[in-house]
Amino acid sequence: MLKKIVKIIIIAVVFLLIAVGGYIAGNLTKYGLDVRKADKAVERFQGSLEEPYKKDIYGGKTPEETWAMYIDALKKGDIDLASKYYAVRDQEKKGEFLIEEREIDDLKLYLEQLSAPLQKDGSLPDFILANKERAYYYYMVKDLDTGEMIKNSVNLYLNPYTKVWKILY
């Protein structure tokens, strides 16, 4: 009789271990599938963020070329094209700014200010200037109220996907 009870207990423990093992294996499998699903969602999301940058072909091979293309588009009155020389994330906002400038008849003044010679900004720390995917320039503009000359910064970056230079600000 004792042997029968021990045998039943052993069988019960084995079934219990199988059930617990199955439960753990099922949860680990579900966790792995959830992680894989989340990874794919992140990849899709990241791809949707990168897509506009991968398709962005507007800009020059050098920062100076991009700046010249931007000014040329403004001279032609092509605000849509001019706004495309900005970083993708800023194109809509900059396009609205340029339209506003045109509507209040300040686009000509804005263009005159931009036509000042673009100069490399060497006043920044070396660790900033060492970044070859960024370019720092400035041009001088005359403050209309005070007559004082003001340094206006222009920062550009190299689009890593299309290798064209874009205006940050």
Which of 102, 91, 107 shows the shortest CA–CA distance to 169?
91
Is 0.85 topped by the overall pTM? no
pLDDT tens figures, 67-123 = 899 999 988 888 889 999 999 988 889 888 888 888 887 777 777 777 777 777 776
pLDDT tens figures, 21-44 = 999 999 889 888 889 988 888 888
Which of 150, 167, 149 shows the shortest CA–CA distance to 159?
167
